[in-house]
């Protein structure tokens, strides 16, 4: 599909737009053609109106629609949190704050963390996603499955100059999340990272960031298509979790000693139990995938004796997003995606549930 919306110095803002919504958890989706657009005069301090051009579809959007998690989202909801587009209008600055450095026409990204207070201890330490006042795109506020989204000046991510918007979209959740998760493992160059869920949206980027950061990658997922996709990034160690003993396979590939880290991006629970069995002493289990009702069963004795580190990693902060995009813009990480129309969202969810997607689906919101 051809991009028809570009950077402009001003945008004609319509009263209504296309959007995909649902009013009830796991209820039907509605392809709206006259969903209201927040008008410039109605933007509150700190808010920005973004003309969304592309949006990725993350498994988190599916979890939200299915009601998989012990958190309540806004209803009715416009989901989506991997949006790329242009600043269309900038609301007034927050009381006492400098005006935003953003300009109308700037290429920006909408990520899961839409806003945070930037004053609390969590924000000051760079754990912005843990801020008690955090707002999440496509969950607590409407997200990127629409053409004109309200987001926040402080958290919109500037996109690298000339970086294609469709390639940027998946970096804004999948990319930043896995990049941050790999950093959390605190590894040394050449150490072994296992990535269960490697063929999905997060996973296909995780294997590339891990390689770009100097680690040896063992990918786990299922099926010839995903194996082929991963081979295209130079990943030669692939384990099909549907076939045979995953723990033995990792141990065989690591001379019997196991891996230095597992970055679990699988949306199923089984991958966590397996990871604890193939980690070597001081190995890190980085928890990223969020299966419904998932528990990690770690034996206390072996956790202590092996000094295993079990770490939850939740998206990334503003700087992580900038770094993740810069690495991709430098050509070290490529998003593999298929573009479909915004109205295809319900069908994308069906295919995501069936685990048949390779890489990411990016929806065209033009
Ligand atoms: O901040 C966070 N922690 C964060 C951010 C973004 C997404 C967490 N997530 C979560 C999502 O909510 C979801 O639970 O990460 C998970 C993966 O999201 P995704 O990459 O968007 O999902 P996907 O494209 O459907 O890929 C999932 C892959 O996991 C594989 C599947 O075959 C698929 O390719 N998989 C499964 I399910 N079980 C597996 C297993 N046992 C497995 N791969 C290996 N071993
Ligand atoms: Zn996401």
pLDDT by residue (tens digit) across 216-255?
999 999 999 999 999 999 999 999 999 999 999 999 999 9
Average pLDDT estimate for 191-198: 98
Domain hosting 284: range is 175-312
Q: Is residue 281 part of a domain?
A: yes
Pair (20, 149) in one structural domain: yes
Q: Residue 315 CA: which ligand 1 atom is closest?
A: 1
CA distances, 98 to each of 50, 91, 93, 128, 215 (Å): 20, 13, 7, 20, 41
Distance (Å) from CA 25 to ligand 2 centroid: 18
Q: Is residue 325 part of a domain?
A: no
Closest CA to 104 of 94, 93, 83, 90: 90
pLDDT at 119 (0 to 100): 96
Q: Residue 313 CA: which ligand 1 atom is closest?
A: 3
Q: Residue 270 CA: which ligand 1 atom is closest?
A: 41
Pair (153, 179) in one structural domain: no
Ligand nearest to the CA of 81: 2
Is residue 35's pLDDT more than 80?
yes
Residue 49 pLDDT level (bands cut at 50, 70, 90) = very high
Q: Residue 291 CA: which ligand 1 atom is closest?
A: 14
Q: Is residue 1 part of a domain?
A: no
Ligand 1 neighbour 60 (Cβ under 6 A): yes
Pair (301, 179) in one structural domain: yes
Separation between Cα atoms, residue 218 and residue 250, nearest integer Å:
8
Ligand 1 neighbour 275 (Cβ under 6 A): no
Pair (205, 255) in one structural domain: yes
Q: Is residue 126 part of a domain?
A: yes
Q: Is residue 168 part of a domain?
A: no
Is residue 365's pLDDT more than 90?
yes
pLDDT at 130 (0 to 100): 98
Ligand 1 neighbour 170 (Cβ under 6 A): no
Q: Is residue 232 part of a domain?
A: yes
Is residue 1's pLDDT more than 80?
no
> How do beta strands 16-22 and 77-78 pair?
antiparallel
Pair (44, 130) in one structural domain: yes
Convert the pLDDT of each residue in 142-163 to its tens digit. 999 999 999 999 999 999 999 9
Separation between Cα atoms, residue 71 and residue 135, nearest integer Å:
13
Instruction: Name the domain boundary from 297, 312, 327.
Output: 312
Is residue 87's pLDDT more than 80?
yes
Separation between Cα atoms, residue 13 and residue 357, nearest integer Å:
35
Tell me what percent of the residues of the chain surpass a pLDDT of 70: 100
Count of the separate structural domains present in the chain: 2
Tell me what percent of the residues of the chain surpass a pLDDT of 90: 97
Nearest CA to ligand 1 atom 2: 314
The CB-side HSE value for 230 (13 A sphere, CA atoms) comes to: 31
Pair (104, 237) in one structural domain: no
SS3 of the chain: the string is CCCCCCCCCCCCCCCEEEEEEECCCCCCEEEEEEEECCCHHHCCCCEEEEEEEEEECCHHHHHHHHCCCCCCCCCCEECCCCEEEEEEEECCCCCCCCCCCCCCCCEEEECCEEECCCCCHHHHCCCHHHCCCCEEECCCECCCCECEEEEECCCCEECCCCCCHHHHHHHHCHHHHHHHHHHHCCCCCCCEEEEECCCCHHHHHHHHHHHHCCCEEEEEECCHHHHHHHHCCCCCCEEECCCCCHHHHHHHHCCCCCEEEEEECCCCCHHHHHHHHHEEEEEEEEECCCCCCCCCCCCHHHHHHCCCEEEECCCCCHHHHHHHHHHHHCCCCCCCEEEEEHHHHHHHHHHHHCCCCCCEEEEECC
Closest CA to 53 of 24, 83, 27, 30: 83
Q: Is residue 320 part of a domain?
A: no
* Most informative mutation of 70, 111, 202, 205 for ligand 1 (most atoms within 8 A of CB): 202
Nearest CA to ligand 1 atom 26: 200
Ligand 1 neighbour 63 (Cβ under 6 A): yes
pLDDT at 268 (0 to 100): 85
Closest CA to 310 of 281, 280, 287, 290: 287
Pair (245, 135) in one structural domain: no
C-alpha triplet 30, 347, 107: angle, nearest 5°: 75
pLDDT at 336 (0 to 100): 97
Separation between Cα atoms, residue 343 and residue 209, nearest integer Å:
31
Distance (Å) from CA 197 to ligand 1 centroid: 5
* Most informative mutation of 197, 274, 317 for ligand 1 (most atoms within 8 A of CB): 197
What's the gap between Cα 87 and its chain centre? Answer: 21
Ligand 1 neighbour 196 (Cβ under 6 A): yes
Dihedral angle, C-alpha 123, 129, 135, 136, nearest 10 °: 160
Tokens of 78: 């416009």
Please tell me the least confidently modeled range out of 202-206, 238-242, 291-295. 291-295
Q: For the CA atoms of the chain, what is the radius of gyration?
A: 20
Nearest CA to ligand 1 atom 22: 59
Pair (194, 131) in one structural domain: no
Ligand 1 neighbour 284 (Cβ under 6 A): no
Convert the pLDDT of each residue in 303-343 to its tens digit. 999 999 999 999 999 999 999 999 999 999 999 999 999 99
Q: Residue 241 CA: which ligand 1 atom is closest?
A: 45
Q: What is the CATH number of the domain that holds 106?
A: 3.90.180.10
Q: Residue 359 CA: which ligand 1 atom is closest?
A: 24
Pair (145, 21) in one structural domain: yes
Q: Residue 58 CA: which ligand 1 atom is closest?
A: 21
* Most informative mutation of 129, 266, 294 for ligand 1 (most atoms within 8 A of CB): 266
* Most informative mutation of 237, 289, 360 for ligand 1 (most atoms within 8 A of CB): 289
Ligand 1 neighbour 265 (Cβ under 6 A): yes
């Amino acid at each position: 599909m051809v991009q028809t919306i570009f950077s402009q110095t001003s945008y004609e803002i319509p009263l209504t737009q296309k959007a995909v919504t649902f009013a009830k958890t796991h209820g039907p989706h509605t392809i709206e053609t006259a969903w209201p657009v927040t008008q410039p005069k109605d933007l509150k301090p700190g808010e920005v109106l973004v003309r969304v051009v592309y949006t990725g579809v993350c498994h988190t959007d599916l979890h939200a629609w299915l009601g998989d998690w012990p958190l309540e989202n806004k209803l009715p909801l416009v989901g989506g949190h991997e949006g790329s587009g242009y600043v269309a209008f900038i609301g007034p600055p927050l009381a006492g704050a400098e005006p935003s450095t953003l300009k109308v026409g700037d290429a920006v990204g909408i990520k899961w963390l839409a806003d945070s207070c930037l004053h609390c201890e969590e924000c000051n330490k760079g754990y912005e996603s843990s801020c008690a006042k955090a707002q999440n795109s496509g969950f607590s506020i409407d997200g990127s499955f629409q053409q004109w989204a309200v987001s926040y000046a402080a958290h919109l991510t500037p996109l690298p100059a000339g970086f294609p918007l469709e390639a940027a979209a998946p970096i804004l959740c999948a990319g930043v999340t896995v990049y941050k998760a790999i950093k959390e493992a605190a590894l040394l160059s050449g150490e072994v990272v296992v990535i269960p869920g490697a063929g999905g949206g997060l996973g296909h980027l995780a294997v590339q960031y891990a390689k770009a950061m100097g680690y040896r990658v063992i990918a786990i997922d299922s099926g010839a298509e995903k194996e082929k996709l991963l081979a295209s990034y130079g990943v030669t160690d692939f384990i099909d979790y549907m076939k045979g003993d995953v723990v033995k396979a990792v141990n065989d590939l690591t001379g019997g000693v196991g891996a230095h880290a597992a970055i679990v991006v699988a949306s199923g629970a089984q991958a966590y139990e397996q990871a604890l069995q193939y980690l070597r002493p001081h190995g890190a289990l980085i928890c990223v995938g969020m299966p419904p009702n998932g528990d990690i069963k770690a034996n206390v004795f072996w956790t202590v004796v092996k000094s295993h580190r079990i770490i939850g990693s939740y998206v990334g902060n503003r700087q992580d997003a900038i770094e993740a995009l810069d690495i991709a813009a430098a050509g070290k990480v490529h998003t593999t995606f298929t573009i479909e129309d915004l109205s295809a969202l319900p069908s994308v969810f069906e295919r995501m549930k069936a685990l048949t997607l390779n890489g990411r689906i990016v929806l065209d919101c033009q």
